[in-house]
Structure 1
């Protein structure tokens, strides 16, 4: 049985990823800042809720301890929690990097002892091609005209962390993914995006790629993207 943990999973891509992994037979721990909302979402998809705020060290430690006590290992970790700040000031920058990048470090560090006990551990970071230097400097790409400085910069950091973890932990497969423009609370102001279930399939494909799957990549549904 495969044990999976997803951060920021009460809605959007995170919730749909949980739903699809449960359908594949995974035991899924659905991370939620608000445990009541988490339990409601978990009941909807057949997962288990755990209180997890990626910006709170104590919360992260307690969440992974709970998974450890119940399961003894972790096979799949999906970093899905994220924020999109449209402003550009110090406070917004701190919020962006705390969730989108530092949160990846907090959760990964707490999860590594459990991941090392898995026969085929996978970590998938829901990143963005908006954080790809190649994409934002290629005029033909839609990212070229995006001006979401903090989102792009923090996702670039998340992708780099994924690559560095892949190099440091060869026994764990680390990959970053661009899930596709998705209609979620984060993109509601822009009125764009496809249903979360479609983007979740991209995340699930990497999370279930098996022991011979890729590592140290940034990809979307078409394949590997340039950094």
Structure 2
């Protein structure tokens, strides 16, 4: 089944690789990014369509969705990949809360609003899916004091995944996944995993017939929240 898929934050790293793999499988991919120049360059490279989208800006999200509904009007898969990890030090007691707000705006509120705005299209699909790119750094049992803003945002994204599944799960498959520590701009050159491996589970969740619903996964296996 050829699917129409939106990938946020697709101009680099895991998002770009997800787009590449989905295009190679024959799907219609809409690659989104804040930077028009970088987004267009990435879309041309992987064979996707580009649309400007800043997931930290609510008005921009609504304008994007309005235009998308007018010009495309259908959607099978939403992959919420766009995220930030601001250098927030290791001290949860002294972190600037503005860093936390900015992180949550992008990593939680952005995906949440996109889901709200696109849920109707996803429910109309014969095989609607939502995939939230999360992290094991947000797992409750493994929370530590370092990178508090990022960890809290990913814990919240995992919670949002479960809550959205409770609402849409009978008609749309809703999952979160952890790509692992991947060699990207965010992960750094010392990361253990190649970007292709980091993208693999998201592509699998977007395209394969028999995948879980309402779960948190890594390497195509269900893991703890």
* TM-score, normalising length: structure 2: 0.91
3-state DSSP class of the match of 1:30? strand
CA contact (8 A) 1:52 1:60 kept: yes
CA distance in 1, matches of 2:35, 2:121: 24
CA distance in 2, matches of 1:116, 1:61: 18
CA contact (8 A) 1:79 1:124 kept: yes
Unpaired runs of at least 5, structure 1: 138-143
3-state DSSP class of the match of 2:31? strand
What's the C-alpha RMSD, in Å, of the aligned pairs? 1.6
CA distance in 2, matches of 1:195, 1:173: 27
Instruction: Verify: 1:103 aligned to 2:104, yes or no.
Output: no
Instruction: Verify: 1:196 aligned to 2:195, yes or no.
Output: yes
CA distance in 2, matches of 1:216, 1:38: 30
3-state DSSP class of the match of 2:217? strand
Kindly provide the CA deviation profile for residues 38-67 of structure 1, in whole angstroms up to 9, marking residues without a partner as x. 111100000000010101122212222333
CA contact (8 A) 2:201 2:220 kept: no
Q: Which residue of 2 aligns with 1:216?
A: 214
Kindly provide the CA deviation profile for residues 110-164 of structure 1, in whole angstroms up to 9, marking residues without a partner as x. 1112111210001100000110113x16xxxxxx6x7221111110000100110
Unpaired runs of at least 5, structure 2: 89-94
Q: Which residue of 2 aligns with 1:186?
A: 186
Shift of 1:35: 1.6
CA contact (8 A) 1:3 1:71 kept: no
Within-5 A mapping of 1:1-227: 1-87=2-88, 88-134=95-141, 136=142, 147-170=146-169, 171-188=171-188, 191-210=190-209, 212-221=210-219, 223-227=221-225
3-state DSSP class of the match of 2:125? coil
Q: Which residue of 1 aligns with 2:91?
A: none
Shift of 1:6: 0.4
CA contact (8 A) 2:83 2:107 kept: yes
